[in-house]
Each structure stands twice: as C-alpha cells, then as structure tokens.
Structure 1
Amino acid sequence: MPRLAAALSLAAALALLPGCKGDPKTPEYWEKKLEGARKASAKVQVVDALRTSGNLQEGFLPMLHARLAAETRPEVKAALARVLGDLKHPSSVEPLQGALAVDASDTDTHLANKELAAALGKLGQPKAAPALTKLLRSRDNYTRIEAIQALGALRATEAVEPLLQLATDEGAEPFLNKKAIEALGHIGDARAVPALMRMLTQERQGVSFYVESSFALYQVGPPAADALLAALEGRDAELTKWAGQRGVHPASYAMKAAQLLGDFRDRRAEGALLKQLTFTNSDPRIQALVRMQAAEALGRLRTAAAARPLSALVSEEDPTIRAAYVRALTLIGGREALPALEKASGQGDWYARETAMRGLALLGDAREQPLFTKWAQAEAALTARECQEYGGEGCEDPAALAQKRADTLTGYGKVLGQAQACGTDGGCWAQQVSSPDALVVERAALELGRGGQAAHAEALAGRVAGKDLEARTALLQSLDWLVGDSKEAAAKARQSLPKLQAQFAEEKGNSRYLKVNEDLRRLIFRLERT
C-alpha cells in the first residue's frame, strides 16, 4: 500500500505538469518539462517529481548543473540543490558554490543558500569548506546552522578560527554558539581547547553550554585531556584568572575536570582525584559535589588505591552523597569495601541504608547472604520507627511499607546467590546480562567489564537498550572499559554500532535517558573512530 500510494502521488504530480513525450529515464525528458514550466512553482514541482521518480542518476548531472547555473529564482535553486545533495557527486561542488549568494538579504535567497549549504555538506568534499566558511557571516541563522554543520561534517580545519569566534560570541543566539561548539568537536582541532574549556562553565540567558563543550573536548582527545589535567591540578594560570574575572566558582573546574578525566580514563589524574576526596569548603554542598565527582572519576578509572578512602566516606548520612561513594566502590570492585558497607547498612534512614545494602549486593558473594535475611527480618521495626519519627510516603501503612522494603532486601540477597553460581566464570555472567532482574544485569555487566574478556563485548552491547537506568549505566561503563582496553572487543562492539546509533537517535530529547545517553554518545563516537 505505501508503494502504491507513492506511485499514485507521483502520477498525480506529473499529470499537473506541462505535457511532453519522451523517456522519463532520460535527462532530456525532464529538461523539456522544466523548459515548459513557466512559473517558479511549476519548476519546483518538476524538480521535486524528478527527485522522487526513481529515475535520478549520475547521467543527469550535466543537465542539473546547467539548470542551476542559469536559474535566477531562489526557490528553484533550492529544489535543484536538494536533488544534487541526493546524488552526492563531487562534480557538483563548483555549481553549488557558484549558486550561492552570500550577501543575500531576502527570505527566498536565504532559503536557497540554506539548501545549497546542506547539499555541499552532503557531498563530503573538503574543497567546499571555503564557500561554507563565507556563509558563517550570513544574516540568516538557519543558513549559518547548515554551514556550521557542514563544516563540522567535513572536519574543515580552515574553519576553526571563525567557528571559535561564533562559539564564544555573546551577541549570537545561544543555539548558534552550541552548533559552533559541536562543529569544533567534530573537527577535533586542538586550537579549540582553550575556548571549549571556558565554555564548560558559561551560561547565558539561562542556557548552559556544558554538554556540548564537554563532548567536544572528548572528541578532541589527548590535547583536551592535557588541559583538563592542568585545570584539575590548578596549573592553568590563564584559565584561573579568566574564571576569577567571570565570577566562576573556584571549585567549578575541579568538579568538571574530574568528571571529564574520568570519561577519558586518564590515569595521570589519579593523584589529584585522590586528594579531592578530602576537599573541604565552607559550603557543605560545594564540598560534597567536588568529592562526589572525584569519587565518580576514580570509579571509572577503577583506581584500587581509592577503595580505602571511599570506604571511609560511605558513612555519609545523605543518601545522594553516599550513593556516589558506593557507586565508585562497585566500579572498582573487590571485597575491601564490604566491612564499611555492612556497617553503613545499619546507619541512617531507609534510603541511606538501602544504598549501602545495594552496593554490598553488587560486591559480595554467598558469605554475605545471611546479612540480607537478617536485615529483611529487622525491617519491620526499623520502618515503624522511621515512620513514627519522620513520616513520609507510604507511612500511612507502615506494615505494608516494611514488607515492600523487606522484599527488596530479599531480592538483593538473591543477587548474591547468582554471584555464588557464577563466581569468576565470564560465560556464566554473559548469560545473566539477559536476566529480567535489573540488579543481576548490573552485577553481570560490572563483572564482565572488570574481567576484561573481549569475547563478552557483543553480549554487553546487545543489552544496552534496557530500560533500567542503573543497569544501562553499568553496561555502557563496562563496554567502555572493554573497548578502550582491547581492539578485539572494539571490533565485536562495532557490530552493534548501527543499532546503538539508531537507539541514540530514537531516544534523543527523552529526558529519562538524557544523562545515561551521554555515555552512549561517547561510546558511539569511540566505535565510529576505531
């Protein structure tokens, strides 16, 4: 039915056009159609019909180039540009460039320039970069966006300087700044690093540029890691001076650089990150944020030396802060943290206790199973007491709430049963990434990632679309470890690249997956560049 509808639509469109005899598979047929169309709208209709006819091929290029050169009406130029963009032939670069009107001021010509820029971007020819760079000064923002995106796709190093000016232009619309930052990331030139570092902390009109700048720095690679390390260690005097003049909080770069160096898995940062676990500030929120980001980075680095200081921090009563330290410990792995987690499981409210118990389920084995039985049995009294003291959601029926919590703890205990069954058997854990139990999936992913066996990369990649955020985060983290450590693992994961790309595109804009899909985005980039 869709094909039949398309055929009927095309037939109807052709029926409206000036009639002429001939073979629609030849350029002469369509040229006569264009010559017979007097109005611009009729010409556009002819070009659009050609585009959807199924007859378009390389042999049409000379005719299309000639028509574009002779055409004066912007809307027809735009239609011809779309066709040439579909053909993607290198010979179209000069005709498309020749049709540009950089100093245009009317809406129709702006539209034509936009389509011409988009077509030049599709051709993928570096020689189009100079013309596209000129379009950065267009009066039309949509034309500028197309030019920016095309330059990024071309990885046009000659456009770095004008893109830097646009990325940092405080008089430009924020979405233009963002697009320029994204293009600089695609180009990957080290000259962009200082500006990208500054944009990490910039906000304007309530808009943050952190997401775009941080990913662009990741794309640039080692030169960006060097700059981030200097910022983390306080060695970038110029950046420090600039931040002070702009009123940027001194701790901002400590936090942001820590997070990004964790993404880079740059072990040069370990010493500075370990020091940040003892960072102090008069504002307890700032103090906690710096420590939490350091913990996250150390976890991603799997820094064994961090296990002891992190274990000392899990007594933190705030559930959110405690969760950051527990997560870091589960990424590092090992049994060293278990005594501290067991102790913390008896401290604080349910949310703080549950965080510690969950961490223990991700690190322990059968030896810890009796603890969960004991905790489940004790939960009724603890919940009743908490409800009496603090109230809160579910406290209208403390007994039911206690049973729900006890069931959660029983489920955690079952994860330890699976740990007993699999032990260090990677094949066993690879089967468990398909478990319906999200916590089992999370544990399986972490075991496989820390195990370092390239053979399991495909199993991990195949489960990344799961809906549980914690499990998905663990799957992506473990894939990042394997892909970064093994060419074989990267090759296996690349087999899932089209699926991962489609997932990212489908979920783009979905706030539920916004944070975790930044990890997915980085993984996709790494696989694309492998």
Structure 2
Amino acid sequence: MPRLVAALSLTVALFALSGCKGDPKTPEYWEKKLEGARKTSAKVQVVDALRTSGNLQEGFLPMLHARLAAEKRPEVITALARVLGDLKHPSSVEPLQAALDPGASDTDAHLANKELAAALGKVGSAKAAPALTKLLGSRDNYTRIEAIQALGALRAPEAVEPLLQLASDESTEPFLNKKAIEALGRIGDARAVPVLMRMLTKERQGVSFYVESSFALYQLGAPAADALLAALEGRDAELTKWAGQQGVHPASYAMKAAQLLGDFRDRRAEATLLKQLTFTNTDPRIQALVRMQAAEALGRMRTGPAARPLSTLVSEEDPTIRAAYVRALTLIGGREALPALEKAAGQGDWYARETAMRGLALLGDAREQPLFVKWAEAEPARTASECQDYGGEGCEDPAALAQKRAQTLTGYGKLLEEAKACGTDGGCWAQKVSSPDALVVERAALELGRGGGAPHAAALAGRVSGKDLEARSALLQSLDWLVGDSKEAAAKAREALPKLQAQLAEEKGNSRFLKVNEDLRRLIFRLERT
C-alpha cells in the first residue's frame, strides 16, 4: 500500500508539472492557457488568475488587445476589460471602444459594457469621450453610471449637453440625476450653471439634489459665484420665474445662495447679506433661516461690520438660532461682541445661556475669567428654578444637574487661561492644536485661522481627523482661510492631502460627519486644484 500511494503521488506531481510548462511572466504562457481553456468559465478563471498573479505588465498589452478583439463571449470581455483597466495604458482605448456593444440587451452584455466603460475611465484618455457619451443612452443604469463617472473623470466638454439633459431628466432615477450633477461639477464647464442653480432647490420623490448641486457649483468657481450673487440679489428674472412655477419658496435662494457665497468668500455679497440679518417674514421659521444663513456666510467671510448687528441678535432665546449668531461672531473674532454675549448669558434657559457663555469663552481672555466663576456659583439656583418651572431631562436630580453644568462653566473658564497664556502668539496656539481638550483645539484653530498662521497649516491639517464636530469644523474653516490667503499655507496643507482624501473616503456614508465633511470635501478640492 505505501508503494501504491507513493506511485500515485509521483504521477500527480508529474501531471502538475506537465501543465505548468512555460514562464508565467510571459504573455505567451497566458495566451496558451487561454487557448487551452474550452469553457467560458475556464477562460474567465485564466484572465482573473493573470490579473492577480503579479506578473501583469505593459508587455502583455498586444496579446490582451488581440484576445479582446477576437472574443465574443461577454463574460470574458468583462474579465479582459478589468485587466486593461488595471494597466491604464493609452493604447487600450481603441480596443476597449471597439469591444463596446451600445445595443446590448442582456445582463452579461450590459456587465461587459459597464466594465469597458470603467476601464476607459481609468485609462483617462480624452479620445474615449465620444464612445462613453453614447453609453449615456444605455438601457442599463449601471452602465450609464460608469459612463457618467468616466466622463466626469475625463472632464470631457463634449459630454456637457447630454449630461445636462440627464441631470434634469425627471423620467430617470434620482440617483442618475445626482451622478450627472457630480460629473458636471468635475468637468467644470460654465454651461452647467443654469441647470445646477435650478437643481439646488429641486426635490423629486422626496429626494433633494442640494448637496450634489452645491458642490458642483463650488467646483465651477467664478461663473457659479456670479450666478449665485444674482440670485441672492434677486436679479435673475428667469430663475425667479422658474422658481415660482415650481412652487419654490421665494426665500429659498436667499438662503442657499448665501451659504454658497460664504463658501466662496465672495465679498461682493456682503452688503446684501448684512441686509438679510434684518430679513422679516410672516413665517418666523423662514425669517430665522434666512437670517441664520446670512450670519453663517458673514462669519465665514470674517466680515467685521457684521459684528454689531449680530451682537443685537444674540438675545434670541431659541438656542439653535442663537447658536448660529454666536458661531458667526466667533468666526469674525474680536472683543466687540463680548458685552452682548455677557448679557445673553443671563437670558433664556440653560441651553440658550450656555451657547452665549461658550461664545464668550472662545472670544474672551483673562478679563472674563471672573464671570465664569460667578456663573458657576450661581448655577445651582438657576438650575433649581428652571427645573421647577419647566422640568426636563436631568431634573429628577436638580443638584446633580447643576453640578454638571457648573463643571461645564468651569471648563470654559479654564479655556480663558489658555488665552491668557498664548495671547496673539501663533506658535503657542499651534502647540494647543494638539490638546486632548476639543474646546482648546477649537479656539486654537480659530486663533490661527484669523491670525494668518500660515506656518502652522500643517499642524491644523494633522488634527482634522478628530471626532469632535465643533473642533473639526473650526480646523477646516481655519484651513480654508489660510489656504485661500497664503501660498505657503496651501503648500503645507497639501502635504496632508493623501491623508485627508483617505479620511473622506473612510467616513463616506457616516451620518455623524455628513455636514462637516462637506467642508472637508471643499478643502480637498481646493488643494487638488491649487
């Protein structure tokens, strides 16, 4: 029996060796294996094995192109397209285009078209644009998506018109509309502006296109800023007429244009935005939203003259509305708002008061420290009174709740100690960016951003991955200021670009970071294009 086993083992080994003749580092080896494979599934396995073998190189292209031209089975075409996509060689454009089947009607053929389109996008040759544009009319949505994404990556101007039609086509899936909008942003052609302006407020089947449209407009730059300014000031008669026909609220463009012009830091909008701080409407929600968006934009632009009217608005008792005005003041900086914040700290419930106190901690210095001592001492009585009058979370133990709130105020007071230590010393604040205390990081970021701390852009970029939303928002805003104002800052921040790109990809779909990562996406775009 042992002799029989040994003989069988030797036979199997010899058989295996006889099937492995040739050098797997040569295209001849793989071509022979493909010729020897009879079934479609066997051919796909050979191509997939080549793809993962580590032997794939430019010298394989003639063989792969020839196999693609001769191949009739869509499953094998799909596998070959993936291999050519990995190689990303310009010579593959014509073979890949020739293999496309625009009239495909079955699933396997659609899948082949999808992979061929993806491969053409990876190769990145403008010559592929006409063929990819034809695929926009495919009956398969997955193929259309790959074609859209490839055309966006190619920044193909000839695709603008069909993409505009697709972006606003109400008979197609909203997901395809969104992909077309994204591609138009990547292409960056000014012809897209009117459609993108409309899609800012368009909703269909409960789906909003604002996120995609706003970013696409940001990518378009100056032409988009001009259109947004006209919308903000009510000078775009055609857009106004369209909005009325669509039932879009007249204030929608006041809000959305304000936010985007704040992203652009377009100072032409300042006068109109200042007027919007006194905007009135019979619906208090609309009134508040217009004012809040104007405040946010003015804060992003660090519009000094906005500090005075914003200071009058921080008396607003709604905590959410007050927070918007306080945030704008902390972005603008300076001590002008401190008296109003001190007064607001004694008005409203805890949440409204705490918002004002937090703003004061982000703007004040050692002169304001006694206020936090006083407020912390007074908090037990304030909390007991609020619990008695309104109840609410934590009021089952007012003493414990008051202690927790007093600790928050003490923490704000400690932040002023950091302000006392650093003053206007950028190097000192740059060290504070590494603090484990998110509030310290937030203030340090704002100090560096407002103070033009270009040499410290790398330090700011290194902390953007922090999980605290307020601190991350401050870091991103400060980087945006510095990158926009200084080539030195842009160069230093660009060193962190791979890390920032990886972070955005990793956090994609995470609802917690959805809003703040829109700012991250804009920063990455600026660094990529700078």
User: How high is the TM-score relative to the length of structure 1?
Assistant: 0.97
Question: 1:189: which partner in 2?
Answer: 189
Query: Conserved in 2, the CA contact under 8 Å of 1:465 and 1:503?
Result: yes
CA distance in 1, matches of 2:350, 2:186: 45
Change (3 A) 1:364 1:23: same
Give deviations 1:237-272, integer Å, cap 9, x for gaps.
Answer: 000000000000000000000000000010000000
CA distance in 2, matches of 1:16, 1:62: 29
Pairing 1:10-29 to 2, within 5 Å after superposition: 19=19, 21-29=21-29
Question: 2:406: which partner in 1?
Answer: 406
1:506 corresponds to which letter in structure 2? E
Question: 2:318: which partner in 1?
Answer: 318
1:16 Cα deviation from its structure 2 partner: 9.9
Change (3 A) 1:254 1:16: farther
CA distance in 2, matches of 1:85, 1:329: 51
2:100 corresponds to which letter in structure 1? L
Query: Conserved in 2, the CA contact under 8 Å of 1:164 and 1:180?
Result: yes
Question: 1:174: which partner in 2?
Answer: 174
Shift >4 Å, 4+ stretches: 15-18
1:299 matches 2:299: yes
Give deviations 1:398-452, integer Å, cap 9, x for gaps.
Answer: 0000000000000000001110000000000000011111111111000000011
Give deviations 1:134-186, integer Å, cap 9, x for gaps.
Answer: 00000000000000000000000110000000000000000000000000000
Q: How many pairs were matched up?
A: 516
Question: 1:68: which partner in 2?
Answer: 68
Question: 1:95: which partner in 2?
Answer: 95
Q: Percent same amino acid among aligned pairs?
A: 89
Give deviations 1:183-215, integer Å, cap 9, x for gaps.
Answer: 000000000000000000011111110000000
Question: 1:434: which partner in 2?
Answer: 434
1:376 matches 2:376: yes
CA distance in 2, matches of 1:136, 1:308: 53
1:39 Cα deviation from its structure 2 partner: 0.8
Question: 1:53: which partner in 2?
Answer: 53
- The 3-state SS of whatever aligns with 2:213 is helix
Question: 1:424: which partner in 2?
Answer: 424
- The 3-state SS of whatever aligns with 2:235 is coil
Give deviations 1:246-301, integer Å, cap 9, x for gaps.
Answer: 00000000000000000001000000000000000000000000000000000000
Give deviations 1:314-342, integer Å, cap 9, x for gaps.
Answer: 00000000000000000000000000000
Pairing 1:87-486 to 2, within 5 Å after superposition: 87-486=87-486
CA distance in 2, matches of 1:527, 1:437: 28
CA distance in 1, matches of 2:199, 2:79: 38
- The 3-state SS of whatever aligns with 2:316 is coil
Change (3 A) 1:86 1:16: farther
Give deviations 1:456-480, integer Å, cap 9, x for gaps.
Answer: 1001000001111000000000000
Query: Conserved in 2, the CA contact under 8 Å of 1:17 and 1:46?
Result: no
1:21 Cα deviation from its structure 2 partner: 1.9
CA distance in 2, matches of 1:177, 1:507: 23
2:472 corresponds to which letter in structure 1? R
Give deviations 1:346-373, integer Å, cap 9, x for gaps.
Answer: 0000000000000000000000000000
Question: 1:9: which partner in 2?
Answer: none
1:521 matches 2:512: no
1:20 Cα deviation from its structure 2 partner: 5.3
- The 3-state SS of whatever aligns with 1:291 is helix
- The 3-state SS of whatever aligns with 2:342 is helix
Question: 2:9: which partner in 1?
Answer: none
CA distance in 1, matches of 2:16, 2:87: 26
Query: Conserved in 2, the CA contact under 8 Å of 1:17 and 1:33?
Result: no
Query: Conserved in 2, the CA contact under 8 Å of 1:43 and 1:76?
Result: yes
1:528 Cα deviation from its structure 2 partner: 0.4
Question: 1:40: which partner in 2?
Answer: 40
CA distance in 2, matches of 1:73, 1:370: 80
Query: Conserved in 2, the CA contact under 8 Å of 1:18 and 1:37?
Result: no
CA distance in 1, matches of 2:114, 2:423: 59
Change (3 A) 1:17 1:522: farther
CA distance in 2, matches of 1:318, 1:18: 81
1:19 Cα deviation from its structure 2 partner: 3.1
Query: Conserved in 2, the CA contact under 8 Å of 1:497 and 1:524?
Result: yes
CA distance in 2, matches of 1:56, 1:181: 36
- The 3-state SS of whatever aligns with 1:201 is coil
Change (3 A) 1:16 1:387: farther
- The 3-state SS of whatever aligns with 2:247 is coil
1:101 corresponds to which letter in structure 2? D
Query: Conserved in 2, the CA contact under 8 Å of 1:19 and 1:33?
Result: no
CA distance in 2, matches of 1:16, 1:398: 80
User: How high is the TM-score relative to the length of structure 2?
Assistant: 0.97
CA distance in 2, matches of 1:22, 1:370: 84
CA distance in 2, matches of 1:53, 1:465: 36
- The 3-state SS of whatever aligns with 2:142 is helix
CA distance in 2, matches of 1:79, 1:235: 54
Question: 2:5: which partner in 1?
Answer: none
Mark the runs of 5 or more structure 2 residues left unpaired by the alignment: 1-14
1:242 corresponds to which letter in structure 2? W
- The 3-state SS of whatever aligns with 1:435 is coil
CA distance in 2, matches of 1:453, 1:341: 27
RMSD of the TM alignment (CA)? 1.1
1:453 Cα deviation from its structure 2 partner: 2.2
1:18 Cα deviation from its structure 2 partner: 10
Query: Conserved in 2, the CA contact under 8 Å of 1:395 and 1:401?
Result: yes
1:485 Cα deviation from its structure 2 partner: 0.3
CA distance in 2, matches of 1:124, 1:131: 13
Change (3 A) 1:16 1:466: farther
Give deviations 1:209-239, integer Å, cap 9, x for gaps.
Answer: 0000000000000000000000000000000
1:338 corresponds to which letter in structure 2? L
CA distance in 1, matches of 2:445, 2:17: 60
Question: 2:12: which partner in 1?
Answer: none
Question: 1:77: which partner in 2?
Answer: 77
Query: Conserved in 2, the CA contact under 8 Å of 1:20 and 1:32?
Result: no
